[in-house]
Amino acid sequence: MRKNIIAGNWKMNTTLPEGLALAKGLNEALKGKTPNCDVVIGTPFTHLASIAAAIDTTKIGVAAENCADQEKGAYTGEVSAAMVASTGAKYVILGHSERRAYYHETAEILKTKVGLALANGLTPIFCIGEVLEEREAGTHFEVVDGQIKDSLFELSPADFGKIVLAYEPVWAIGTGKTATSDQAEEMHAHIRATLAAKFGNQLADDCTILYGGSMNAGNAKELVSKPNVDGGLIGGASLSVENFMPIIEAFDK
Ligand code: 13P
């Protein structure tokens, strides 16, 4: 059975004291509760170790938002997958559209990052998604298939089984313009069929596929009610406990 996951992606927001307060607040809000999904927070590198030490990481997984495409050495300013893992983080968000667009991360670079993340015991949350022009041109399925094939299809089935996918249509990120639940479901079902053709039905069925893009307390329940939508990757609405908790609770019966 695949897992349901609600993951926050804080992006480049919060100072360390602010981030710590947010993480502790979420930890407090989850005390005595057993959500029907795994909860993850993706934080800046600078916050990982302090946050992992301050919260119950059996209840809230900690994610980095990136890692280097090199193992170690003379790469000034980079943070390796091993360093991320040593903080207590268990996940790493890779291939976010902001990193693809602003930092020129190619499919090849991402393939390397995924390999290093896995080698260091991290679970990659691998992001895919088309831009508006691609959706309007009707090439969105092809684009997303290409992103998956080019970075993940050389993985062994055992390694592929460790990947979480996040479908984030770029036109829905930070725009307040969420994909409809039908659009999300259509793409997620398509992705699952692509995975089944390569890795077989079982692995495809077991793969957690998150939706991301203007997900919030108001639309989360409808999105996760779809059979192929296994949770969300949430930006803006993950920056306060008040906005994030109801998204976690969208899985409550
Ligand atoms: P928003 O939820 O702010 O649209 O961001 C989505 C996202 O990019 C998560 O990775």
Residue with tokens 């990947």: 163
In 161-240, which ranges are continuous DSSP H helix? 181-199, 201-206, 220-224
The sign of the torsion formed by the CA atoms of 250, 220, 206, 152 equals negative
Tokens of 218: 């108001």
Tokens of 210: 């998150």
DSSP 231: E
Cα 214 to averaged position of ligand 1 atoms, centre (Å): 6
- Cα 123 to chain center, whole Å? 10
Res 176: pLDDT: 82
CA distance 150 to 177: 28
Res 177: pLDDT: 83
Res 1: pLDDT: 84
Query: Domain residues of the chain, as ranges?
Result: 5-12+38-251
Cα 200 to averaged position of ligand 1 atoms, centre (Å): 30
Residues of the chain with pLDDT under 70: none
Q: Which residues are catalytic?
A: 96, 168
Q: Domain 5-12+38-251 maps to which CATH number in 3.20.20.70, 3.40.50.300, 3.40.50.2300, 3.40.50.20?
A: 3.20.20.70
3-state SS class at 192: helix
Which of 94, 177, 233 best tests ligand 1's pocket when mutated (most atoms within 8 Å of CB)? Answer: 233
CA dihedral 113, 190, 98, 221 (to 10 degrees): -110
Residue with tokens 């268990």: 90
Cα 184 to averaged position of ligand 1 atoms, centre (Å): 14
Res 121: pLDDT: 98
Which of 5, 10, 11, 171 best tests ligand 1's pocket when mutated (most atoms within 8 Å of CB)? Answer: 11
Neighbour tally for 114: CB within 10 Å: 27
Res 178: pLDDT: 86
